[in-house]
Amino acid sequence: MSKKFIASILMLSLVLPVVALAQFPGPPAPPAPGPGGGAADEETFPFAAASPRFKLPTAGLEPTVVRITNLLFYFIVLISIIMVLWGGVTLATAAGDPSKVDLARHLIMYALIAIVVGAISWGLINLVASYLGRLA
């Protein structure tokens, strides 16, 4: 296989999930008017009367932690997929060299271990966050 074909397949595998999983959020709901003319659950810019466009949304600790955890998990999965692909190409081009075969097996094994550890930590943090959300 040519290098251009492998590079195009790799780029397609990185871009296609983003395109396939894209979602249109729909029209935003109008905010309920609060005391300063802004939404009731948002802090407003100090000069809200002069420029009402600048509104600072507030978010609690739980959604922030869950968003950061989700981003880290997606990053771990992306890096692990790249490592598995790299290990597969290394294994395919090893030509019977035991050191390259061993390197490829280790790359694939450590990538799968990273996915498992990332999934367990992601699940635990989301479980704790959902439990704490029920208590509030």
What is the percent of the chain where pLDDT is above 70?
A: 64
The closest of 40, 37, 41, 39 to 51, measured between CA atoms, is 37
- pLDDT score of 2 more than 70: yes
pLDDT, tens digit, 9 for 90 and up, residues 38-89: 554 445 555 555 555 656 666 777 777 778 888 888 999 999 999 999 999 9
As given in the structure block, the two tokens for residue 100 are 């390259």
CA atoms within 13 A of residue 45's CA, in its CB half-sphere: 9
Cα–Cα dist 103/54, whole Å: 53
Return mean pLDDT, the chain.
Answer: 76
The closest of 75, 49, 66 to 130, measured between CA atoms, is 66
Alpha helices in 36-97 (DSSP H): 61-92
pTM of the model: 0.52
| C-alpha dihedral (106, 108, 110, 111), degrees to nearest 10 | 160
